[in-house]
Amino acid sequence: DAMVIQNPRYQVTQFGKPVTLSCSQTLNHNVMYWYQQKSSQAPKLLFHYYDKDFNNEADTPDNFQSRRPNTSFCFLDIRSPGLGDAAMYLCATSRDMGFNQPQHFGDGTRLSIL
């Protein structure tokens, strides 16, 4: 089945130690998104790629970076994780930017900081 796959499902890292979360998709969608979701809250958009064009949200900390080496893969890099970065990270795709396009989400990566 075509889908959005996130690895790993659970990630534990140390305070200040860089960590990379990965996302792949077989939907061939143009747009890929990264969200941060803290417990019982709405997902918060960090950034998105439309094809190779990167769009950062104004309030996304500089600590968060992203790479999209090709259509299928997108990575979230957290350069120096702090305790406040512990959260669920959701990757999503959509076919394009149209208002009628649903987003397709991966299962998420739950990040813990020691």
Partner 1 sequence: AQKITQTQPGMFVQEKEAVTLDCTYDTSDPSYGLFWYKQPSSGEMIFLIYQGSYDQQNATEGRYSLNFQKARKSANLVISASQLGDSAMYFCAMREGNTNAGKSTFGDGTTLTVKP
Residue 94 touching partner 1 (CB under 8 A): yes
How many other C-beta atoms can be found within 10 angstroms of the C-beta atom of residue 82?
12
Stretch binding partner 1 (CB under 8 A), from 12-20, 43-51, 59-67, 76-84: 43-51
Cross-strand pairs, 112? 12
CA separation for the pair 27, 64 (Å, rounded): 25
Which CB sits closer to partner 1, 24 or 94?
Answer: 94
For position 105 contacting partner 1 by CB under 8 A, the verdict is yes
User: What is d(CA 48, CA 55) in angstroms, rounded to the nearest whole number?
Assistant: 5
Of 3 and 80, the one with the shorter C-beta distance to partner 1 is: 3
Radius of gyration of the chain (CA): 13
Q: Which residues bind partner 1 (CB under 8 A)?
A: 31, 40-43, 45, 48, 50, 88, 90, 92, 94, 96-108, 110
